């Protein structure tokens, strides 16, 4: 395969070539070595749940049943529920740790605090807490108690974080379907129980459980995570920074943080600044910290730390020969990193007790010892810098300006400069008059099966031309950033006339002398919660159900179980959710039909599978137009 088919990112292409010259095996080589991939797995009709298996259903003949008697429908439905449960578990675990740290911070036991009193009050209010005459500590304590209350909820009542966050219309829909989650841990446990050998054989019942787990992800994962992280680290406000491997600096100690957990990466930001002098003493010009994947997004949104790229850039960062430490926490971390780093001077440092890697150094990061751990890691990077082999360094000269930090609060803030009394009015007005056709949240990963960033960038360009406002999170946002779609030039170049006019007017009113970027970067994958908040605000303003809004979601290059669980949540919200790669469900025609068609009657949303990004953009635009017709706009 030619390198241009591997990525549209010139920095990636250059580093893929360097990897070949350096004789280092990277993800594209491993993908090629894995061809052909198993068709049964691809279709979701391989069952490995019990030890009588593995069983496969033959789509072209016999056998049509697994040894236990399970049909393709049952097998696909069970596998999907397990995948979504896996995705949900990651976000719920992430959010639980955030709550734990806020609790410890209130007790003064860890070096974190309450940074955003406004958000604290907002979260307290949505939970129905009295905010008058209460200190932030008291409020935070109550919030932690409610969050932990959900995790200890032994009643049959739904989770409080969910009922406090989701619109009433949705609660009614989910209640009628019997899918309101009670206790996130219990639902995860129940899903593993339900999908094991010899329990649920009914694909529809399994699909409803899948939707329930999507809700667990949305509220006990995404919303809970974002809410608590904003309280501790502040709600993002617009920032300018840069994206791509070109942000690495030849004469600096380069540290890349990769993973998902801001409690770790925020400390890295703090200590790279504090220990800069030590780096100078070691002969460097300073320390360049860069982020990757969602931990990159967390520090980009709040601290303006530049992005070194997305999922498929992680190995390539090492290939530059210029990264002194690649520090990882959890999720989306390739086990190959240590093997590749062994060919260079780069130290791969793991930090989390559940995510270690043979060949990597492990510096356990605990909230209590956060400062000491971060210092230790920065010093290891400075030490590694001194053994950097300059003859092997090649930093690709590509980076793009990126504007990030568009939390809902920041978007409303920008709109307030147009209409201080009624900030949503200008946005809604422009949707009504057609300057903005609708909005699409473009989220998710890279997937080596498709050219890096191609689906995402082409889809977004086509949507912008149709005057669709795009918001982005996750690795999709990094990809769009690298392609120049997260800065005002992107608006001038790619936005349709109506959209361009609106973004320019808001930008000028906000005193930027430039349009807003055509794609608003809303944060990490956990921050998909922000997109729901925006939709809920719009639906509330218009007085319509969220499912009737002229909006859609898209994960053009998904690979992780997390993308499936977030997508399931989006569908449960009533949003048409496009996926640019085919999930392993086609082995069951029934499940395929349920997911891509019948679900719409139940929840208002459904999955839309289209692997061609330009066709997908057309399909999404048509869906938006249809929603507009129903609304009479």
Query: Binding marks (x or -) toward another protein, 526..565, rule CB under 8 A?
Result: ----------------------------------------
Q: Which is nearer to another protein, 35 or 154 (CB)?
A: 35
| 518 contacts 439 by C-beta, under 8 angstroms | no
Q: Which is nearer to another protein, 42 or 141 (CB)?
A: 42
Please tell me whether residue 36 binds another protein under the rule CB under 8 A. Answer: yes
Q: Which is nearer to another protein, 48 or 109 (CB)?
A: 48
Count the residues of the shown chain that bind another protein, applying the rule CB under 8 A: 15
Choose one: 262-270, 322-330, 535-543, 583-591; the region binding another protein (CB under 8 A): 583-591
What would the DSSP string read from start to end of 527-578?
THHHHHHHHHHHHHHHTS-GGGSSEEEEETT--SHHHHHHHHHHHHTT-EEE
| SS3 track for 167-223 | CHHHHHHHHHHCCCCCCHHHHHHHHHHHCCCCCCCCHHHHHHHHHHHHHHHHHHHHH
How many residues would you count in the chain?
633
Shortest distance, CB of residue 626 to another protein, whole angstroms? 24
Comparing CA positions, the residue from 622, 624, 13, 22 lying closest to residue 319 is: 22
Choose one: 11-19, 53-61, 520-528, 599-607; the region binding another protein (CB under 8 A): 53-61
What DSSP state is assigned to residue 544?
A: S
Instruction: Provide Rg for the chain, Cα atoms.
Output: 24
Residue 440 phi/psi, 5° resolution? -135, 135
Instruction: Give Dmax over CA atoms of the chain in angstroms.
Output: 71
Choose one: 31-39, 245-253, 508-516, 599-607; the region binding another protein (CB under 8 A): 31-39
Residue from 4, 5, 32, 38 in contact with another protein (CB under 8 A):
38
Choose one: 37-45, 353-361, 443-451, 489-497; the region binding another protein (CB under 8 A): 37-45
Choose one: 337-345, 465-473, 475-483, 586-594; the region binding another protein (CB under 8 A): 586-594
Q: Which is nearer to another protein, 172 or 598 (CB)?
A: 598
Residue from 171, 204, 582, 631 in contact with another protein (CB under 8 A):
582
Shortest distance, CB of residue 465 to another protein, whole angstroms? 29
Q: Positive or negative, the Cα torsion across 233, 533, 581, 628?
A: negative
Please tell me whether residue 586 binds another protein under the rule CB under 8 A. Answer: yes
Please tell me whether residue 317 binds another protein under the rule CB under 8 A. Answer: no
CA–CA dist 624, 550 (Å, integer): 5
Please tell me whether residue 156 binds another protein under the rule CB under 8 A. Answer: no
Choose one: 317-325, 331-339, 366-374, 580-588; the region binding another protein (CB under 8 A): 580-588
CA–CA dist 219, 443 (Å, integer): 18
Choose one: 6-14, 55-63, 330-338, 354-362; the region binding another protein (CB under 8 A): 55-63
Instruction: Report which secondary-structure segment, H or E, holds 341.
Output: helix 337-341
Comparing CA positions, the residue from 351, 218, 294 lying closest to residue 477 is: 294
Shortest distance, CB of residue 58 to another protein, whole angstroms? 7
CA–CA dist 311, 337 (Å, integer): 12
Please tell me whether residue 42 binds another protein under the rule CB under 8 A. Answer: yes
Shortest distance, CB of residue 38 to another protein, whole angstroms? 6
Strands 287-292 and 55-56: unpaired
CA–CA dist 139, 53 (Å, integer): 52
Please tell me whether residue 51 binds another protein under the rule CB under 8 A. Answer: no
Shortest distance, CB of residue 392 to another protein, whole angstroms? 35
Please tell me whether residue 39 binds another protein under the rule CB under 8 A. Answer: yes
Residues in region 400-429 near another protein by CB under 8 A: none
Residue from 3, 50, 53, 59 in contact with another protein (CB under 8 A):
59
Comparing CA positions, the residue from 250, 248, 255 lying closest to residue 284 is: 250
Residue from 2, 21, 61, 358 in contact with another protein (CB under 8 A):
61
Q: Which is nearer to another protein, 36 or 511 (CB)?
A: 36
Choose one: 399-407, 417-425, 538-546, 579-587; the region binding another protein (CB under 8 A): 579-587
Please tell me whether residue 71 binds another protein under the rule CB under 8 A. Answer: no
Strands 239-243 and 400-404: antiparallel
**Separation of first and last alpha carbons in the chain:** 47
Residue 421 burial by CB count (10 A; 0-12/13-18/19+): exposed, middle or buried?
exposed
Shortest distance, CB of residue 54 to another protein, whole angstroms? 9
Instruction: Report which secondary-structure segment, H or E, holds 150.
Output: helix 136-151
Residue from 14, 15, 40, 348 in contact with another protein (CB under 8 A):
40
Please tell me whether residue 108 binds another protein under the rule CB under 8 A. Answer: no
Please tell me whether residue 366 binds another protein under the rule CB under 8 A. Answer: no
Sheet holding 325-328, edge to edge: 361-362, 347-350, 325-328, 253-258, 287-292, 307-309, 239-243, 400-404
Q: Which is nearer to another protein, 338 or 609 (CB)?
A: 609
Give the contacts of 172 (CB within 8 A, at least 6 positions apart). Answer: none
Beta carbons within 10 angstroms of residue 391's beta carbon? 7
Q: Which is nearer to another protein, 62 or 132 (CB)?
A: 62
Q: Which is nearer to another protein, 480 or 609 (CB)?
A: 609
Footprint on this chain of another protein (rule: CB under 8 A): 36, 38-40, 42-43, 56, 58-61, 582, 586-587, 589
């Amino acid at each position: 395969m030619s390198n241009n088919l591997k990525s549209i990112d010139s920095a990636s292409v250059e580093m893929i070539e360097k990897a070949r010259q350096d004789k280092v095996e990277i993800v594209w080589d491993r993908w090629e070595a894995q061809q052909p991939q198993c068709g049964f797995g691809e279709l979701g009709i391989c069952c490995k749940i019990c030890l009588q298996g593995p069983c496969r259903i033959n789509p072209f003949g016999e056998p049509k049943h697994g040894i236990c008697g399970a049909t393709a429908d049952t097998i696909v439905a069970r596998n999907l529920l397990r995948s979504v449960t896996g995705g949900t578990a990651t976000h719920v675990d992430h959010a639980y740790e955030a709550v734990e740290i806020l609790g410890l911070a209130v007790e003064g036991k860890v070096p974190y605090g309450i940074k955003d009193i406004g958000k604290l009050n907002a979260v307290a209010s949505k939970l129905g807490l009295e905010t008058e005459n209460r200190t932030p500590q008291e409020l935070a304590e109550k919030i932690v108690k409610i969050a932990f209350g959900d995790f200890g909820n032994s009643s049959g009542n739904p989770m409080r974080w969910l009922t406090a966050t989701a619109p009433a219309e949705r609660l009614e829909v989910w209640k009628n379907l019997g899918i309101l989650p009670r206790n996130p841990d219990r639902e995860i446990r129940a899903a593993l129980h339900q999908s094991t050998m010899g329990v649920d054989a009914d694909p529809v019942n399994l699909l409803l459980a899948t939707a329930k787990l999507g809700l667990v992800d949305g509220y006990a994962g995404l919303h809970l995570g974002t809410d608590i992280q904003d309280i501790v680290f502040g709600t993002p406000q617009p920032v300018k920074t840069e994206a791509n491997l070109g942000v690495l600096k030849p004469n600096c100690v380069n540290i890349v943080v990769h993973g998902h957990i801001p409690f770790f990466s925020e400390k890295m930001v703090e200590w790279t600044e504090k220990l800069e002098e030590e780096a100078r003493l070691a002969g460097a010009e300073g320390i360049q910290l860069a982020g990757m994947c969602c931990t990159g997004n967390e520090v980009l949104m709040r601290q303006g730390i530049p992005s070194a790229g997305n999922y498929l850039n992680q190995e390539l960062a090492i290939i530059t020969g210029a990264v002194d430490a690649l520090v990882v926490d959890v999720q989306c971390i390739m086990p190959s990193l240590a093997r590749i780093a062994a060919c260079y001077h780069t130290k791969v440092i793991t930090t989390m007790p559940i995510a270690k890697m043979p060949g990597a150094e492990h510096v356990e990061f605990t909230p209590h010892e956060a400062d000491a751990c971060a210092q230790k890691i920065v010093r290891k990077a400075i030490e590694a810098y001194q053994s950097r082999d300059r003859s092997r360094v090649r930093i690709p000269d590509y980076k793009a300006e990126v504007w990030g930090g568009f939390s809902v609060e920041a978007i409303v803030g920008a709109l307030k400069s147009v209409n201080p009394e009624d900030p949503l009015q200008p946005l809604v007005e422009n949707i009504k008059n057609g300057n903005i056709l609708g909005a699409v949240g473009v989220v998710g990963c890279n997937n080596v099966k498709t050219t890096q960033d191609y689906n995402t960038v082409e889809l977004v360009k086509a949507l912008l031309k149709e005057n669709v406002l795009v918001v982005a999170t996750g690795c999709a946002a990094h990809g769009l950033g690298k392609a120049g779609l997260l800065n005002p030039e992107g608006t001038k170049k790619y936005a349709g006339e109506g959209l361009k006019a609106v973004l320019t007017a808001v930008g000028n009113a906000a005193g930027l002398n430039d349009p807003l970027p055509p794609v608003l970067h809303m944060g990490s994958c956990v921050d998909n919660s922000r997109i729901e908040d925006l939709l809920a605000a719009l639906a509330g303003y218009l007085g319509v159900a969220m499912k009737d809004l002229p909006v859609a979601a898209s994960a053009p290059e998904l690979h992780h179980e997390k993308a499936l669980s977030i997508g399931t949540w989006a569908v449960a919200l009533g949003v048409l959710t496009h996926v640019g790669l085919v999930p392993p469900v086609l082995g069951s025609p029934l499940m395929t039909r349920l997911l891509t068609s019948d679900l719409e009657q139940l929840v208002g949303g459904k999955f839309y599978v289209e692997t061609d990004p330009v066709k997908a953009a057309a399909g999404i635009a048509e869906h938006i137009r249809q929603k507009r017709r129903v609304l009479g706009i």
